[in-house]
Amino acid sequence: MCGIVGYIGFRQGDQVVISSLKRLEYRGYDSWGYAVANGKEIEIKKKVGSISAVEVKEKRAEGVTVSIGHTRWATHGKPSDINAHPHTDCDEEIAVVHNGIITNFSSLKNELISEGHIFRSETDTEVIPHLIERCYKDSKSFEEAVIKAIKFLKGSYAFVALKKDEKKLIACKYKSPLILGVGDGELIFASDVPAILEYTNRVIYLNDGDIVIAEPGKYRIINERGEVVRDIELIHWSIEDAEKSGYEHFMLKEINENPRVIEDTLGEYVTDKIELDPSFAAGISEIVIVACGTSYHAGLIGKYVIEKLAGIPVRVEYASEYNYHQIIPGRSLILGITQSGETADTLEALRAAKRMGLRTCSIVNVVGSTATKISDHVLFTRAGPEISVAATKSFIAQLIVLYIIAIKLSPLTRQEKKELIEELKSLPEKVQRILDKQHDIDEIAKKLSNFENIMYIGRGLGFPTALEGALKMKEISYIHAEGYPAGELKHGPFALLGENTPVVAVINRDETYEIMLNNIKEVKARESLVIAVSDDKDEEVDNFVDFAIKTPETLPILSPILHSVAFQLLAYFTARIRGCEIDKPRNLAKSVTVE
């Protein structure tokens, strides 16, 4: 859960690495570092804290430069200067930056120590340069030493290694993300696309088992079968897409991109009908959705929608739990939802499904990511790069794809499907109307910002919407927020209600409407502040709540999209009022690449 960059080319390598690492800050980190091989030694600088203000001012001699860099999110060993990457061998002739977890590092470390190797850090990563050093003694080249060394590693890794006296980078990938950017006379490795966009839009998505030998102006990719060829793909995002474009935070920018994201994702699959091949779900007995965090909540909403429209049973599993409890019929479709396509738990769930011979499909935002390679079918969201750790537009795009699946698989008449599609197409304009009234939500956020506990409640589709609203609030404002089915309040959570615990209620004008009003009355009787999120035609709810966030009227089954945008804004403004680090909330990472 960190960022990797490696550069070889005509630019000043340390400047490229620092600039690129700054574009990976959204991944979450607690320390940073970089190394430059100057032919005589490896120059290393690494430190705990933020890389945002770091600048490389000294100029180096012209010519090919080789450099690697890293932002670390601590797993083995506390955040410290010594635990920050890069890590080196005993003689500091080899340096490595690494993402992932080496599960057998303890036994490897003890073995290497017994052979006389001296370790400086608490990290699992440090075994890699020491292994390369050991293998180099019996190898003909740096390349051969790395190939020998990785055979000892268990777990997951994406790493880039350099040697002090070689104009060469060697990168290896297994179960952790790594890409190769191909420029004109330069090559750049990175954990994610935004890091390379300043230098090239040509990228190779590496496969597990790939080893890349990068030299000035050329590269080779090998694996256990020998030398292989990987397609170069063009990235259609611009560097501006990955920047704030005048917004105070990436999160606010990305919330405001929701109308475009809905249009783009609909445009991928919908004309006057849904252009989606239903064969991925042919003959299935059920759908099992595996996901984490916000994607899990999208899955819960998808369960309601698919079961209601298509009549197909749906289970939603936390991917991290599914990996340890798998009882799945042979005709199940395993549907993984992951923004990055690199979420470790979701990938392991998909791999487990493949081992059981089950059909797999992924809803993914990143072309070429690992999920796209291990799944039988892939449905892309078109959210574009999402930099803020808190998922907003990617969540909305995931919902759109789930609605498309439900409509396509449903036995609805052509006219009924057409009406649903037309209402989906009206959502960008309706979302924009919510965005145009951000000030109203900001005013309500001022009321919530002074509390330390908030409860979100809903029924039916309102319940998973409430869960996602609570998650957004807790992850960026640091307010303890919990989502509950409104009917469950009497079974324990009522004990928490009172003047110090406001309640946010999701109101849908469907079969749950009247009972939700009764639940709100019960909450008010406990003296809690109540904020409702409902449509702008609902005047009755105003009689029972303190404040209401009104969203444009739509079909009740589509309400989670509009309500979720309102919740994104509510969380954003609350966090801003509280002075929180919105785009990079503490302890969190954008792409969770370890289990």
Residues with Cβ within 8 Å of residue 421, at least 6 apart in sequence: 270, 272, 273, 274, 407
Domain assignment present for residue 389? The answer is: yes
Q: Does the residue 463 lie in any domain?
A: yes
> Using N-to-C axis directions, what is the helix angle for 142-150 and 127-136, rounded to 10°?
120
User: Which residues form the domain of 233?
Assistant: 3-240
Average pLDDT (182-191) is: 95
Shared-domain flag, residues 407 and 282: yes
Evaluate whether residue 500 is within a structural domain: yes
Question: How does pLDDT run across 467-487, given as a tens digit for each residue?
Answer: 999 999 999 999 999 999 998
The Cα–Cα gap between 273 and 404 comes to: 10
Residues 205-230, mean pLDDT to the nearest whole number = 94
CATH of the domain at 52: 3.60.20.10
pLDDT at 3 over 90: no
- pLDDT tens column, 405-446: 999 999 999 999 999 999 999 999 999 999 999 999 999 999
CB 408 within 8 A of CB 276: yes
Q: Are residues 214 and 251 in the same domain?
A: no
* Within-domain flag for 176: yes
Q: What is the CATH number of the domain that holds 321?
A: 3.40.50.10490
- Shared-domain flag, residues 261 and 190: no
Q: Per residue in 122-172, pLDDT tens?
A: 999 999 999 999 999 899 999 999 999 999 998 889 999 999 999 999 999
Q: Is 80 exceeded by the pLDDT of residue 218? A: yes
Please indicate, yes or no, whether residues 208 and 71 belong to a single structural domain of this protein: yes
One domain, residues 454 and 570: yes
The mean per-residue pLDDT over the stretch 18-46 comes to 87
Angle at 108 between CA 103 and CA 113, to 5 degrees: 145
| pLDDT for the residue numbered 498 | 87
Could you give the count of Cα atoms lying within 13 Å of 442 in the half-sphere of its Cβ? 8
192 close to 27: Cβ distance less than 8 angstroms: yes
Domain final residue, candidates 207, 240, 273: 240
Domains of the chain: total: 3
User: Where residue 324 falls among pLDDT bands split at 50, 70, 90?
Assistant: confident
255 and 225 assigned to the same domain: no
| CA pair distance 175, 460, nearest whole angstrom | 37
State whether 167 and 284 are in the same domain. Answer: no
Does the pLDDT value for residue 593 go beyond 60? no
Q: Is 348 helix (H, G, I), strand (E, B) or coil?
A: helix
Give this prediction's pTM.
0.75
Question: Does any domain span residue 590?
Answer: no
Q: Look at residue 588 and tell me if it is in a domain.
A: no
Of 179, 212, 240, the domain-final residue: 240
3-state secondary structure of 113: helix
* Residue 33 three-state SS: strand
394 belongs to a structural domain: yes
Tokens 């004109």 identify what position?
Answer: 184
SS3 209: coil
Is residue 236 located within the same domain as residue 249?
A: no
pLDDT given at position 16: 94
Alpha-carbon dihedral angle through residues 8, 12, 13, 15, given to the nearest 10 degrees? -150
Q: Are 372 and 343 in contact (CB under 8 A)?
A: no
60 and 192 share one domain: yes
157 contacts 172 by C-beta, under 8 angstroms: yes
- Residue 86 DSSP symbol: P
Kindly state the average pLDDT of the residues 531-544.
Answer: 93
φ, ψ (nearest 5 deg) of residue 498? 155, -170
**Tokens describing residue 357:** 């011979």
594 pLDDT more than 60: no
Average pLDDT in the 35-43 region? 90
Q: What pLDDT does residue 238 have?
A: 73
Judgement on whether residues 404 and 493 belong to the same structural domain of the protein:
no
Percent of the chain whose pLDDT exceeds 70: 96
- Which residue bears the tokens 């990797």? 4
Domain boundary pick from 376, 396, 429: 429
353 and 465, same structural domain? no
Contacts of 369 (CB under 8 A, 6+ apart): 177, 205, 338, 340, 341, 342
Residue 334 has pLDDT above 80, yes or no: yes
Let me know if residue 568 belongs to a domain: yes
> In this structure, are 89 and 221 located in the same domain?
yes
Catalytic residues: 2, 590
